[in-house]
């Protein structure tokens, strides 16, 4: 369960003239308890969706208020929260750190599987389950963008997170790879919070949050939320 209590995110911008920094509100305050298995977050570019996603695993900390995941405070219990909450970025290259797929997945298993041979065996099995067995030993850069996103997802899932937060995981993918990644996410048993511009994905969620100008302006039933988002985008209110 994810609990945001009056969570507020701010940024400090230095004054080029040497005056005092300006504090800007990026998001919030947001109060919400997320218990649903599939939660989608939609909103315009720059509305604060990524900031909200990053709050959930402590990549961004609230300047005021708090964020708890299963009772763990993102500010106080950062490493434990990050073990519990896996994060998938839009661009897989932001998170693939090892030279080959098998090494990248094995790295995610290092906490739970002490034996290196066993780690490699499990990494190969995980890659085989997502159809990447024959890519396991290639250089990561030789994989297509879709294959790299699937690999990033496989590596994150190898660490067995309780919650998965995905920040626009299919934005860079073609339709075929979008379907592959969407289907994989839909089949997961854990809670998934997905930031998306794909309204079909939002409509399949259990709950949808609409973010606008750093505030959650609608929260609830997917059909109502998507209708509210469409209305927001067509009123021209966002300039």
Ligand X SMILES: Nc1ncnc2c1ncn2[C@@H]1O[C@H](COP(=O)(O)OP(=O)(O)OP(=O)(O)O)[C@@H](O)[C@H]1O
Residue 170 in the binding site for ligand X (CB under 6 A): no
For residues 127 and 143, give the distance between their C-alpha atoms in angstroms, rounded to a whole number: 13
Beta strands 163-167 and 191-195 are parallel
Using CB under 6 A as the binding criterion, the count of chain residues that bind ligand X stands at: 10
Where b means 16+ CB within 10 Å and e means fewer, 19-31 reads eeeeeeebbbbbe
User: Considering the complex, what minimum distance in angstroms separates the CB of residue 34 from ligand X?
Assistant: 17
Residues 98, 104 contacting (CB under 8 angstroms): yes
Tell me if 84 contacts ligand X by CB under 6 A: no
Nearer to ligand X, 16 or 114 (CB): 16
Question: According to CB under 6 A, which one of 29, 48, 92, 222 is a site residue for ligand X?
Answer: 48
If one asks whether residue 43 binds ligand X (CB under 6 A), the answer comes out as yes
**103 vs 168, beta carbon nearer ligand X:** 168
Choices 47-55, 100-108, 178-186, 221-229; region in contact with ligand X by CB under 6 A: 47-55
Residue 237 is encoded by which pair of tokens?
Answer: 């209110």
DSSP string, 185-202: HHH-SSEEEEE-S-HHHH
Q: 142 vs 237, which CB is nearer to ligand X?
A: 237
The structure tokens 């950062």 sit at: 78
State yes or no: residue 28 binds ligand X (CB under 6 A). Answer: no
- 103 or 167: whose CB is closer to ligand X? 167
Contact between 99 and ligand X (CB under 6 A)?
no
CA 128/CA 38 separation, integer angstroms: 26
Cβ burial, residue 73 (10 Å; 0-12/13-18/19+): middle
Q: Which of 49, 135, 207, 218 binds ligand X (CB under 6 A)?
A: 49
Q: How far is the CB of 22 from ligand X (least distance, A)?
A: 10
Looking at the Cβ atoms of 168 and 182, the one nearer to ligand X is 168
Residue 199 within binding range of ligand X, rule CB under 6 A: no
The distance of closest approach from Cβ of residue 50 to ligand X in the complex, given in angstroms and rounded to an integer, is 3
Instruction: Identify which of 98, 108, 90 has the alpha carbon closest to the alpha carbon of residue 54.
Output: 90
Taking the C-alpha atoms of residue 211 and residue 51, their distance in angstroms, rounded to an integer, is 10
Contact flag: residue 14 with ligand X (CB under 6 A): no
Which residues form the interface with ligand X (CB under 6 A)? 11, 26, 43, 45-51
């Amino acid at each position: 369960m994810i609990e945001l209590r009056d969570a507020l995110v701010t940024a400090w911008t230095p004054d080029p003239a040497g005056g005092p920094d300006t504090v800007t509100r990026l998001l919030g305050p947001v109060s919400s308890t997320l218990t649903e298995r599939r939660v989608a977050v939609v909103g315009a570019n720059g509305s604060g969706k990524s900031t909200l996603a990053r709050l959930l695993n402590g990549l961004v900390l609230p300047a005021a208020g708090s964020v708890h995941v299963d009772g763990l405070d993102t500010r106080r219990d950062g490493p434990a929260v990050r073990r519990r909450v896996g994060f998938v970025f839009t661009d897989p290259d932001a998170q693939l750190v090892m030279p080959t797929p098998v090494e990248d997945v094995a790295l995610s298993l290092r906490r739970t599987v002490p034996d290196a041979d066993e780690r490699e065996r499990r990494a190969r099995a995980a890659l085989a389950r997502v159809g990447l067995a024959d890519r396991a030993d290639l250089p990561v850069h030789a994989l297509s963008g879709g294959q790299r996103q699937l690999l990033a997802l496989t590596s994150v899932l190898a660490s067995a997170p309780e919650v998965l937060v995905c920040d626009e995981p299919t934005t860079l993918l073609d339709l075929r790879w979008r379907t592959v990644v969407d289907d994989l996410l839909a089949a997961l048993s854990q809670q998934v919070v997905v930031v998306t511009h794909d309204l079909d994905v939002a409509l399949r969620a259990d709950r949808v949050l609409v973010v606008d100008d750093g505030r959650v302006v609608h929260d609830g039933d997917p059909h109502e939320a998507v209708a509210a988002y469409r209305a927001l985008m067509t009123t021209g209110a966002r300039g």
